[in-house]
Chain A
Amino acid sequence: MKRLILAIACASLAFSTAAYAGEYTLVIDKQTVDVGGRKGESLTINGQLPGPTLRFKEGEEVTINVVNKLKVDTSLHWHGLLVPAAMDGVPMFNGFHGIRPGTTFTYQFKIRQSGTYWYHSHSGGQEQEGLYGSIVIEPADKEPVPSDRDYVIVLSDFTTETSDDILANLKSDSGYYNYARRTAGDFFSDMSEKGLVATIRDRLAWGEMRMDPTDLADVTGYTFLVNGKSESANWTGLYKSGERVRLRLINASAMTYFDFAIPGLKLIVVAADGQNVQPVVVDEIRMAIGETYDVIVMPKDDKAYTIFAQSLDRTGYARGTLAPHEGMSAPVPPVRPRARLTMSDMGMGSMEGMDHDMSGMSGMSGMSGMGGMSGMDHSKTSMADMHAMHGAKPAANTKADAQPTGWASGAPPGTKVLSYADLRSLKKQKDTRPEEREIMVRLGGTMERYIWTLNGKKEADATPIELKYGERVKLTFINDTMMAHPMHLHGMFVQLVNGQPAERLPNKHMVSVPPGKSYSVMLTADEAGEWAFHCHLLFHMQSGMMNKVVVARLGAEGAK
């Protein structure tokens, strides 16, 4: 462990001196690591987990040599960066075929933005196994919000299981990792709370859908990390009383949403997904996988504060410390109780008003209906059927206070949790046109079989979404499933349709769509290429929840 720390220290030194040299080398390898007492094989970048922080400057022409020392193909994708399509690093897109074992691939692109981003492998499940790191880009002009100190906080989920094993376990038993299922004890406690009839009705309704309301996270057994350090290793960032400290929060997990807070400190959110926003003061942020948030904190007392990020399924937390001196620590709060989805979260209306005669659904499971089954529309998930049957319309973009209860953070009353509706772009948006067309994206899947889809199709069967260069479209996500999906578009920023004026819609590359809800974003298709478009839950992406957005520039060279 000591050696790893030393390595990290040396490497970060090397990177701070090499800062704007323009050429970087990243060596991808495999080694044994010890994380919080868990020993296992991990993929590493320059011997580190996570990989080194890449510090660029806006306008810089960067050259990144990626050396593959693994026995399998690899790749690195620059998450949130505007790059030429061929440099985006997704195998089988734009003529890129991954980086073969023993070879070096050289990425070259100009840095056209500033802010906090990250990078990770886009090959198989390598991201889960350690191939991720942070990117910090200094703006060409001054930072709009200056700070005295600047720390990167990379949150991640570490496991010693290989990503192939995890996926195989999920495919054979989707509840493999769920140790929070409803038990006999829950039945009796629900019964004393809601009564026997309501409890039985609730169980029957979930049973009818063959869905599990406790499925908040598909994978458990993680050790959650702050900058590669477990809770006990306690990553510590130093401050002097009265300083403004900028924390660049990155959720680099494979499968974990975090509720992030620093008890005792207000978080002033100044950027989301690397893009500056008008400052918003909050107590807590629910961070979807792949999101980054820059926050300013101003600790005044001469004491330690706990950086606390509890996983959505409450199986654990990542923890670090902000302190005036090394070795200090503050109390670690308990994780909050786990939330559970309710029927109303799923757009089903109240239980009382529910019609339990779901004949349309039971029909498909009848043995006698076997012949008809082969003719069924397999693209429909149970939830889609339910929407159709109950005439439930997907709700419009939801405000924080109207979030589904099962998706609520469970924060005590008076806690201000960041909502997408709070985000206002600092810079005025150039393109404020209304959409020329709307593209619906249904987020679907069958948990039981661990198949996840976009518009009813797995990646292998999907038709790419084609956009004309310069076209302004609205993408509307409709989540037919009971999990939130952090949707990610490569190559371009989208703007959240969050109730702010058109010129203040915030740029994002991640859009978290809560269970059973819908959300719209605007997109100007101004980057030509084949762009990956997927759920950033790693195993959802691997199970089919991915498609291609093709922006074709039709003989209009220099149309930009």
Chain B
Amino acid sequence: MKNLFSCLAVASMAMTTPLSANEMSEPNFHVVRLQVDGTENNEGGLVTWEGEGWYGGDLDKIVLRTKGEMQNGHVEASELWGLWSRNVSDFWDLQAGVRQDIDPHPTTSLVIGVEGMLPQFIETHAHGFVSTRGDVSARLEQSIDLAITQRLILEPHTELNVYASDVPELAIGSGISSIEAGAQLRYEVTRKFAPYVDLVYETATGNTARIKRNNGDDPSDLTLRIGLRIAF
């Protein structure tokens, strides 16, 4: 918990630094987006959440992200990021800040990366992390919105995690540690309220998969999740 506070402190510090006098006069905006879903897997009830909020103007923003999952009422993974996001080209923001993992094992990491859109409207988040224990890792998240109708949107999404070395505390081996691929089908009642179903395949890979199997766990999981996406 202490770590969480220090993470927030860093994020709030970042919030006050980069704005010059000229930029201060520009209007600021904010958005909060959350999605929560639930499903049954072979271990029981699984709830996952993802959230992002930002505050700022055209050039500088403060971004908070959270992500996590709860298995049978017990939080198994949770992370909170605080980033400063700076627009560097039409479609890209450069981001830097702190990521605090609370579960499964408290870990504080520095984050540097980019968020933006590739040609063909591919939303992309690519971040590198260095933990206070010196572990180096990276994550690539991509998604694209495909309009089936004006309100029924199919969003294929992927996530890839890579570790430079073994991280025994997290039961992670070096190399590509996990891949997630899914397809979310949501109905945008409004742009800010959209129930969805999400077919998600997650799998640990390489050394990480081997560790999982050795622990008697199934390295992969296919779930159909039902959830809600809201924004305000």
Which A positions have Cβ atoms within 8 angstroms of B?
Answer: 167-169, 171-173, 176, 179-185, 204, 207-210, 358, 361-362, 364-365, 367, 370, 373-374, 376, 378, 381-382, 446, 448-449, 451, 458, 460-461, 542, 544
Contact = CB atoms under 8 A, between A and B. Distances in A.
A184 B148 contact: yes
Interface stretch (B4-12, B110-118, B210-218): B110-118
A358 B119 CA distance: 10
Given A180-B150, A184-B147, A185-B149, A374 B119 contact: no
Contacts of A544: 58
Contacts, number: 86
30 contacts: A168-B29, A171-B58, A173-B191, A176-B191, A181-B147, A183-B147, A184-B149, A204-B120, A207-B119, A208-B120, A210-B91, A210-B117, A210-B119, A210-B120, A358-B119, A362-B119, A364-B89, A364-B91, A365-B91, A365-B92, A365-B116, A367-B126, A370-B114, A373-B89, A373-B94, A374-B88, A448-B90, A448-B91, A448-B117, A460-B25
Give chain A's interface secondary structure class.
helix
A100 B147 CA distance: 46
A115 to B, nearest CB: 35
B146 interface: yes
A513 B25 CA distance: 30
Contacts of B58: 171, 449, 451, 458, 544
Contacts of A184: 146-149
Nearest to A543: B58
Contacts of B120: 204, 207-208, 210
Interface in B73-100: 87-92, 94
Contacts of A373: 88-89, 92, 94
Contacts of A172: 29, 31, 231
A487 to B, nearest CB: 21
B221 interface: no
B33 to A, nearest CB: 8
Interface of B: 22-23, 25-27, 29-31, 58, 87-92, 94, 114, 116-121, 126, 146-151, 191, 231
A179 B87 contact: no
Contacts of B126: 367
A456 to B, nearest CB: 11
Contacts of B148: 183-184
B39 to A, nearest CB: 26
Contacts of B149: 183-185
A460 B57 CA distance: 12
A365 B94 contact: no
A166 to B, nearest CB: 11
A447 to B, nearest CB: 10
Contacts of A382: 90
Given A210-B117, A458-B58, A376 B89 contact: yes
Given A210-B117, A460-B26, 9 more contacts: A168-B29, A210-B91, A210-B121, A361-B119, A364-B89, A364-B91, A378-B90, A449-B87, A542-B27
Contact of B118 (A168, A182, A365, A374): A365
Contacts of A209: 119
A362 to B, nearest CB: 6
Contacts of B25: 460
Given A361-B119, A362-B119, A373-B89, A183 B150 contact: yes
A41 to B, nearest CB: 20
Nearest to B149: A183
